Amino acid sequence: MTHEDLFGAAPDGHWSAPGRVNLIGEHTDYNDGLVLPLALPHTARAAASRRPDRRLRLYSAGMPDGGTVDLDLDALAPGTVTGWAAYPAGVAWALREDGHQLGGLNVSYESDVPVGAGLSSSAALEVVTAVALDDLFGLGLAPTALARVAQRAERDFAGVPCGILDQMASACCTAGHVLRLDTRDLSMRQIPFSMALEGLRLLVIDTGVRHAHADGAYARRRAECEAGATALGVPALRDVPPEGLDDALARLPDATLRRRVRHVVTENDRVERVVALLDAGRARAIGPLLTAGHASLRDDFEVTCPELDLAVSASTAAGALGARMTGGGFGGSAIALVDADAAEATAGAVRNAFAAAGHHPPGIFEAIPAPGAGRLPV
Under rule CB under 6 A, residue 259 binds ligand GLA: no
Rounded Cα gap, residues 71 and 262, in angstroms:
46
Closer Cβ to ligand GLA, 332 or 369, answer by number: 332
Residue of the chain from 143, 328, 362, 372 that contacts ligand GLA (CB under 6 A): 328
Closer Cβ to ligand GLA, 23 or 102, answer by number: 23
Min dist. Cβ of residue 103 to ligand GLA (A): 30
The active-site residue, picked from 29, 32, 134, 166, is 166
Q: Interface mask (CB under 6 A) for ligand GLA, residues 274-313, using x and -?
A: ----------------------------------------
Q: Of 130-138, 163-171, 245-253, 273-281, which part binds ligand GLA (CB under 6 A)?
A: 163-171
Residue of the chain from 81, 91, 165, 232 that contacts ligand GLA (CB under 6 A): 165
Which CA distances in Å does 355 have to 307, 308, 314, 359?
A: 11, 14, 12, 6
Under rule CB under 6 A, residue 225 binds ligand GLA: no
Say which residues have a Cβ less than 8 Å from residue 122's Cβ, sequence separation at least 6: 84, 87, 154, 158, 160, 166
Rounded Cα gap, residues 313 and 270, in angstroms:
20
Under rule CB under 6 A, residue 90 binds ligand GLA: no
Rounded Cα gap, residues 263 and 204, in angstroms:
23
Min dist. Cβ of residue 164 to ligand GLA (A): 6
Closer Cβ to ligand GLA, 106 or 300, answer by number: 300
**Does residue 202 contact residue 274 with C-beta atoms inside 8 Å?**
no
Rounded Cα gap, residues 44 and 85, in angstroms:
13
Min dist. Cβ of residue 150 to ligand GLA (A): 11
Min dist. Cβ of residue 46 to ligand GLA (A): 21
**Does residue 183 contact residue 35 with C-beta atoms inside 8 Å?**
yes
- The interface with ligand GLA within residues 18-37 (CB under 6 A) comprises 26-27, 29-30
Closer Cβ to ligand GLA, 268 or 346, answer by number: 268
Closer Cβ to ligand GLA, 27 or 260, answer by number: 27
Residue of the chain from 327, 331, 362, 369 that contacts ligand GLA (CB under 6 A): 327
Min dist. Cβ of residue 57 to ligand GLA (A): 28
Number of residues forming the site for ligand GLA (CB under 6 A): 10
Min dist. Cβ of residue 328 to ligand GLA (A): 3
CB atoms within 10 A of CB 196: 10
Min dist. Cβ of residue 304 to ligand GLA (A): 12
**Does residue 4 contact residue 10 with C-beta atoms inside 8 Å?**
yes
Residue 166 bears catalytic tag:
yes
Closer Cβ to ligand GLA, 7 or 87, answer by number: 87
Q: Of 157-165, 293-301, 316-324, 355-363, which part binds ligand GLA (CB under 6 A)?
A: 157-165
Under rule CB under 6 A, residue 162 binds ligand GLA: yes
Closer Cβ to ligand GLA, 29 or 224, answer by number: 29
Under rule CB under 6 A, residue 166 binds ligand GLA: yes
Residues that bind ligand GLA in the complex, under the rule CB under 6 A:
26-27, 29-30, 162-163, 165-166, 327-328
Please give the positions annotated as active site: 166
